[in-house]
């Protein structure tokens, strides 16, 4: 591998000393705030990101428009019959793709919502309201049970509505999350285009625990009413992108991406102002690098993409892949950054095994105490997934999964995902490490780049494989 020592000095200098990183975070989180798809906040963020990429000297900077459906919460109310003596407000937040509805019924608590817990209460669920938690890895089980899984089960058993208590935070905080993620049809995945069947809202841990106590006090006879108003609207949304062109094979690309949209109830600092500001930091560092060392610095092109509509189910990245399908075979690697500063950087997560030793050597040669790690399953939860589905090699940053998560990370998808939750000291390390890696990957000669694109059938087969847990 070529000697990049002088290059690393320039990158590290910008990563650690540029004032842009913090300023950009303040702009996105405090000045702009919520960046929910199809709102003025998203538009402002789009313009801001475009301006920044231009300012850093990237080429072909643009905001690529796509038409999509966004979902908006208008009202959410939970009432109890007879009324509970609750001190303060009974807060609730609808989950994404919950329809407008008014339902009432007996509250049936199904614990963490494992299939067996649903089976035990099967007879009681029809026409009533399921109460469960948002825990994805319930005790006594080795397989992930998502909110989408729990919701499907509730619908299948004829529930009238569902209430999810927020097990992750104390402090009277509700959360939100999509109850539908992607639509799978004929071997491929599409964005969600309609609301789900029954209303679904979150309540705080404190209210959920109170409901559990009331259920036992009243021998199972707690009644609740859920009333929601939400809407689904056609909107224009924008992926913002720009290139730093490579000299030798400009058509071959490494994509560095992060979503800039965020949940409607917060400034979405960790999820994902952190990722998109690191993306800007890498763009600034590598653009300056090219300015300093000239045209020959990069052999292949680096494309930076800030995706929108991720929180609605990867709508921005699905639109990008659809539009740029012909170019995908020339994408060497996609590096997706989501929820950084959720834990310190521990290494890389890869989905194709041949890349594991390649990145471990790269890390070792840079003298960094990081690990290159093979994922046990295809991760469908981030903007890398539409690329994986098309066989493109991807890399994710290993921060907290499955240990070492910062407690501040627990606030994602709640109103408390604010700038103060970001571990600022970690961000320069993310910028420097990813930028140094990207520099090496774009300059690796073809014969030494080990990854090959996969046919879609192979990926679909891997997706069907049951998850092997740690």
Structure tokens, 410: 């627990």
Considering the complex, state which of residue 224 and residue 341 has its C-beta at the smaller distance from Zn ion. 341
Considering the complex, state which of residue 118 and residue 385 has its C-beta at the smaller distance from Zn ion. 385
Nearest-angstrom CA–CA distance, 100 and 226: 10
Least distance between Zn ion and beta carbon 236 (Å): 21
Structure tokens, 383: 């903007």
Considering the complex, state which of residue 276 and residue 378 has its C-beta at the smaller distance from Zn ion. 276
* Bridge partners of residue 76, in order along the sequence: 228
Least distance between Zn ion and beta carbon 93 (Å): 17
Considering the complex, state which of residue 113 and residue 178 has its C-beta at the smaller distance from Zn ion. 178
Nearest-angstrom CA–CA distance, 317 and 303: 14
Nearest-angstrom CA–CA distance, 321 and 199: 32
Considering the complex, state which of residue 168 and residue 290 has its C-beta at the smaller distance from Zn ion. 168
Considering the complex, state which of residue 109 and residue 304 has its C-beta at the smaller distance from Zn ion. 304
Least distance between Zn ion and beta carbon 368 (Å): 25
37 binds Zn ion (CB under 5 A): no
Nearest-angstrom CA–CA distance, 336 and 314: 12
338 binds Zn ion (CB under 5 A): yes
DSSP state of 417: -
Considering the complex, state which of residue 226 and residue 394 has its C-beta at the smaller distance from Zn ion. 394
Structure tokens, 116: 């067996």
Number of residues that bind Zn ion (CB under 5 A): 3
Considering the complex, state which of residue 297 and residue 410 has its C-beta at the smaller distance from Zn ion. 410
Nearest-angstrom CA–CA distance, 400 and 147: 21
- Asked if 98 contacts 201 with a C-beta cutoff of 8 angstroms, the reply is yes
Q: What's the Rg (C-alpha) of the chain?
A: 23
Query: Which listed range, 98-106, 319-327, 330-338, 355-363, lies at the site for Zn ion (CB under 5 A)?
Result: 330-338
Residue closest to 247 by CA, chosen among 303, 302, 295? 295
- Asked if 215 contacts 163 with a C-beta cutoff of 8 angstroms, the reply is no
Show the binding pattern over residues 232-271: x = contacts Zn ion (CB under 5 A), - = does not. Answer: ---------------------------------------x
Nearest-angstrom CA–CA distance, 279 and 266: 21
DSSP state of 136: S
Residue closest to 425 by CA, chosen among 52, 11, 15, 9? 15
Footprint of Zn ion on 198-217 (CB under 5 A): none
Least distance between Zn ion and beta carbon 317 (Å): 11
Residue 367, classified by CB atoms within 10 Å of its CB into exposed (0-12), middle (13-18) or buried (19+), is: exposed
Considering the complex, state which of residue 8 and residue 383 has its C-beta at the smaller distance from Zn ion. 383
Least distance between Zn ion and beta carbon 271 (Å): 4
Least distance between Zn ion and beta carbon 381 (Å): 8
Least distance between Zn ion and beta carbon 261 (Å): 9
- Other beta carbons less than 10 A from residue 9's beta carbon: 11
Least distance between Zn ion and beta carbon 51 (Å): 23
Footprint of Zn ion on 264-293 (CB under 5 A): 271-272
Least distance between Zn ion and beta carbon 210 (Å): 31
Least distance between Zn ion and beta carbon 90 (Å): 29
Which backbone phi and psi does 133 adopt, to 5 degrees?
A: -115, 170
Residues 6+ away with beta carbon under 8 Å from 407: none
Query: Which listed range, 235-243, 325-333, 334-342, 362-370, lies at the site for Zn ion (CB under 5 A)?
Result: 334-342
- Asked if 191 contacts 183 with a C-beta cutoff of 8 angstroms, the reply is yes
**Helix and strand element counts for the chain (H, E):** 13, 15
Query: Which listed range, 15-23, 111-119, 333-341, 434-442, lies at the site for Zn ion (CB under 5 A)?
Result: 333-341
Structure tokens, 73: 């919460």
Considering the complex, state which of residue 298 and residue 342 has its C-beta at the smaller distance from Zn ion. 342
Considering the complex, state which of residue 207 and residue 273 has its C-beta at the smaller distance from Zn ion. 273
Least distance between Zn ion and beta carbon 269 (Å): 11
132 binds Zn ion (CB under 5 A): no
Nearest-angstrom CA–CA distance, 94 and 179: 10
Query: Which listed range, 233-241, 338-346, 386-394, 422-430, lies at the site for Zn ion (CB under 5 A)?
Result: 338-346
Contact positions toward Zn ion, by CB under 5 A?
Answer: 271-272, 338
């Amino acid at each position: 591998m070529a000697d990049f020592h002088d290059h690393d000095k320039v990158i590290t200098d910008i990563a650690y000393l540029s004032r842009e990183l913090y300023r950009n975070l303040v702009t996105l989180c405090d000045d702009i705030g919520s960046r929910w798809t199809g709102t003025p906040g998203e538009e402002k963020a789009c313009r801001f990101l475009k301006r920044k990429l231009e300012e850093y000297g990237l080429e072909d900077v643009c905001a690529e428009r796509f038409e999509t459906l966004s979902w908006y919460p208008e009202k959410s109310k939970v009432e109890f019959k007879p009324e509970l003596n609750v001190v303060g407000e009974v807060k609730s937040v609808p989950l994404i793709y919950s329809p407008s509805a008014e339902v009432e019924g007996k509250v049936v608590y199904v614990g963490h919502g494992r299939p067996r817990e649903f089976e035990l209460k099967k007879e009681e669920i029809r026409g009533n309201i399921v109460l469960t938690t948002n825990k994805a890895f319930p005790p006594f089980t080795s397989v992930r049970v998502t909110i989408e899984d729990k919701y499907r089960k509730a619908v299948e058993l004829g529930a009238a509505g569902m209430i999810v208590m927020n097990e992750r935070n104390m402090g009277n905080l509700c959360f939100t999350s999509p109850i539908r993620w992607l639509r799978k049809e004929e071997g491929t995945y599409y964005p969600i285009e309609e609301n789900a069947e029954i209303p679904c809202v979150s309540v705080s841990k404190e209210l959920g625990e109170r409901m559990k106590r009331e259920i036992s006090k009243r021998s199972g006879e707690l009644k609740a009413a859920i009333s929601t108003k939400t809407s689904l609207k056609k909107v224009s949304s924008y992926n913002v992108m720009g290139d730093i062109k490579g000299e030798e094979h400009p058509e071959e690309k490494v994509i560095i991406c992060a979503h800039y949209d965020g949940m409607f109830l917060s400034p979405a600092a960790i999820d994902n102002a952190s990722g998109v500001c690191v993306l800007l930091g890498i763009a600034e560092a590598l653009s300056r690098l090219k300015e300093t060392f000239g045209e020959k610095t990069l052999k292949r092109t680096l494309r930076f993409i800030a995706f929108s509509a991720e929180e609605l189910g990867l709508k921005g990245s699905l639109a990008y892949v659809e539009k740029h399908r012909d170019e995908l075979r020339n994408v060497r690697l996609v590096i997706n950054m989501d929820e950084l500063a959720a834990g310190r950087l521990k290494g890389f997560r890869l989905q194709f095994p041949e890349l594991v030793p390649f990145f471990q050597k790269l890390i070792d040669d840079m003298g960094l105490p990081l690990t290159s790690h093979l994922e046990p399953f295809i991760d469908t939860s981030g903007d890398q997934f539409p690329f994986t589905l098309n066989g493109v090699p991807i890399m994710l940053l290993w921060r907290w999964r499955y240990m070492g998560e910062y407690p501040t990370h627990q606030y994602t998808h709640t109103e408390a995902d604010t700038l103060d939750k970001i571990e600022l000291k970690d961000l320069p390390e993310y910028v420097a490490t990813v930028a140094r890696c990207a520099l090496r990957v774009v300059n690796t000669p073809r014969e030494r780049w080990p990854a090959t694109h996969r046919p879609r059938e192979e990926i679909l087969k891997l997706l069907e494989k049951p998850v092997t847990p740690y």
